[in-house]
């Protein structure tokens, strides 16, 4: 019995190592929001779902000091898989950031499946694949876009924006300011 349990645990460890490229998830991924390097910007995105009938999308673009340059809330009525909703939030965040005049940033998500697909430029034959293609077309007009993963605890501001999106049916955008309801989380991120 014990040798079987050890074998199963070893099999699991090997699968995790293969899936994460040798980087153990509990040690390798940010647990809190990290400011981008000097002169860089970071776009955090998230999706929230309400009983499978509405998707809330949130995104926030911040500079190296953690100051909010763009914040966005938007929603979509319908049902979708989590990865599709998360991809829609990334697409919306990129679109609004570009419309605000920003064309180089790190896109950070708390959805590992989406991060891996974006990092590897996957284009599956599915709804997700079509949204990924939209993202690739958008970023082809950008100067420098990279992708990053953060655990849910490091994506609080985008999460709050996504949750707020469930309360509205209109696109809400804040430029060079953050809405009051996310200010405590922004301050917590900056204070470290």
DSSP letters along 64-92, please?
A: TT--EEEEEEEEEES---HHHHHHHHHHH
Residue 22: which pLDDT band, with cuts at 50, 70 and 90? very low
Distance CA 191, CA 78 (A): 38
What the chain holds in terms of domains, given with CATH numbers, is 29-191 (3.30.420.10)
CA dihedral 138, 140, 145, 148 (to 10 degrees): 70
Strand order, beta sheet including 42-50: 144-149, 104-109, 42-50, 54-62, 68-77, 172-175
Measure the CA–CA gap between 118 and 58, rounded to whole angstroms: 18
Mean pLDDT for all residues in the chain: 87
**Would the CA dihedral through 15, 19, 21, 25 be positive or negative?**
negative
Angle between helix 112-119 and 82-99 (nearest 10): 60
Please state, in angstroms and rounded to a whole number, the distance separating the CA atoms of residues 47 and 89. Answer: 6
Model pLDDT, residue 3: 46
Q: In whole angstroms, what is the distance from residue 110 CA to residue 150 CA?
A: 5
pLDDT of residue 11: 56
Mean pLDDT along residues 161-177: 95
pLDDT at 43: 98
In this prediction, residue 128 has a pLDDT band, given cuts at 50, 70 and 90, of: very high
Examine the pLDDT at 79 and tell me if it is beyond 80: yes
What tokens were used for 127? 């709804």
pLDDT at position 31 = 83
- The proportion of the chain whose per-residue pLDDT surpasses 90, expressed as a percent, equals 77
Which CA distances in Å does 65 have to 23, 54, 80?
28, 33, 35
The torsion region of residue 30 among left (phi > 0), alpha (psi -120 to 50) and beta comes to beta
């Amino acid at each position: 019995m014990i040798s079987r349990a050890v074998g199963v645990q070893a099999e699991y460890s090997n699968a995790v190592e293969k899936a994460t490229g040798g980087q153990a998830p509990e040690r390798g991924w940010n647990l809190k929001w990290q400011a981008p390097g000097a002169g860089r910007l970071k776009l955090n995105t998230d999706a929230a779902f309400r009983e499978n009938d509405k998707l809330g999308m949130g995104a926030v673009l911040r500079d190296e000091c953690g100051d909010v340059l763009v914040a966005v809330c938007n929603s979509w009525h319908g049902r979708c898989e989590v990865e599709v909703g998360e991809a829609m939030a990334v697409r919306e965040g990129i679109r609004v950031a570009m419309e605000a005049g920003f064309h180089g940033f790190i896109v950070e998500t708390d959805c590992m499946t989406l991060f891996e697909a974006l990092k590897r430029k996957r284009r599956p034959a599915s709804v997700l694949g079509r949204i990924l293609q939209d993202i690739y077309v958008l970023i082809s007009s950008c100067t420098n876009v990279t992708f990053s993963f953060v655990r849910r605890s490091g994506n609080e501001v985008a999460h709050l924006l996504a949750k707020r999106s469930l309360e509205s049916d209109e696109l809400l955008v804040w430029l060079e300011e953050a809405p009051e309801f996310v200010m405590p989380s922004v301050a917590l991120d900056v204070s470290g």
